[in-house]
Structure 1
Amino acid sequence: MQSQCLLLIAAVATLLVAQTAAKFRIKNHNDAEKAFEECREEYYVPDDIYEKYLNYEFPDHRRTSCFVKCFLEKLDLFSEKKGFNERAMIAQFTSNSSKDVATVRHGLEKCIDHNEAESDVCTWANRVFSCWLPINRHVVRKVFA
């Protein structure tokens, strides 16, 4: 029974990835690196803070929230108008392995909001991502390694 459930989850994940792939292109290490560099330039991130960002650690700093928003936008995972693209998040972070579907989805279910708090867009993007990331940092590092 458990193996049938796992097969069903993998099939659904594959279908979601295929559907999303028509609109969303899976990003790789080079895409993430380019997004990091462009956002660093845009937000004038100091070297010591940037080094932490490169390790997918986003400390509390005056530049962090908008850097995270910029990074996610450049990867097509977030937009100011629509918020987080959950299908793109699932496609992006399960493209290498369907074993990560449960973790990625759990993080989204736990953390996604639709900015009911009416925060500024940088705060919103960072709030959700900083909730989701600790659950999925290993997946992010694996995908963008």
Structure 2
Amino acid sequence: MKFFVALLSLIFAVVLASAHDHAGHSDYVVKTNEDLLRYRDECVSQLSIPADLVEKYKQWSFPDDEKTHCYLKCILEKFELFDAAKGFDVHKIHHQLEGDKVDHSDATHGAIENCAKEAAAAGDDACVRAYRGFNCFLKDNIQLVQAGVEKSAK
């Protein structure tokens, strides 16, 4: 009987932890292309990004330099996908890419998790972590990333 109560308690704790883990993500609002344009303007202004870099960003080209690192951090923070202290929010990223009917057990989720882990290992600089994580996922999934913003604009 004690074993049964302990097992039931463990299952209950896991269910609560799982619900808690998802609780902050269920109300995530997928951002649109309009949001991206607004955030781009805000980050460009805030960080004094030169026009030549902005043109590269518009073409989904992100050079490995300090301005770009911090630009991506700024954009990702505004999208609520990255926090300097906590890192990437894998669930919110997946929601942004695939909408509300996302399956957090699929390969895309695993790829996002792997990139978030890779970014976390990039050191203490939040701008570098944001850049590394974003580029990790972008290199194999650029169409999905682009569509994640563009489809929500329709």
Range into which the TM-score falls when normalised by the shorter chain? 0.7 to 0.9
**Structural mapping, 1:44-59, within 5 Å:** 44-59=48-63
Partner of 2:93: 89
Return 132-141 or 64-73, whichever deviates more: 132-141
User: Paired residues, what number?
Assistant: 128
Q: Which has the higher contact order (CA 8 A, sep 6+)?
A: 1
Q: Residue 42 of structure 2 corresponds to which residue in structure 1?
A: 38
Runs of 5+ in structure 2 lacking a partner? 1-21
Q: CA offset at residue 119 of structure 1?
A: 2.5
Alignment check: 8 A CA contact 1:103 1:136 kept? no
RMSD over aligned CA atoms reads 2.6
TM-score by length of 2: 0.71
When residues 109 and 85 of structure 1 are mapped into structure 2, their CA distance, relative to the original with a 3 A threshold, is closer
Q: For residue 18 of structure 1, report the CA deviation from its aligned partner.
A: 9.6
- Identical amino acids, percent of aligned pairs: 30
Partner of 1:120: 125
Aligned partner of residue 66 in structure 2, secondary structure:
coil
Partner of 2:135: 130
Q: CA offset at residue 117 of structure 1?
A: 4.5
Shift of 1:110: 3.0
State the alpha-carbon separation in 2 of the partners of residues 26 and 108 from structure 1. Answer: 17
Q: Is the contact made by 2:115 and 2:136 (CA closer than 8 Å) also made in structure 1?
A: yes
SS at match of 1:21: coil
* TM-score, scaled relative to structure 1: 0.75
Q: Check whether the contact 1:104–1:136 (CA below 8 A) recurs between aligned residues.
A: no
Equivalent pair of 1:93/1:104 in contact (CA under 8 Å): no
Q: More displaced, 42-51 or 116-125?
A: 116-125
Q: Which runs of 5+ in 1 are unaligned?
A: 1-16
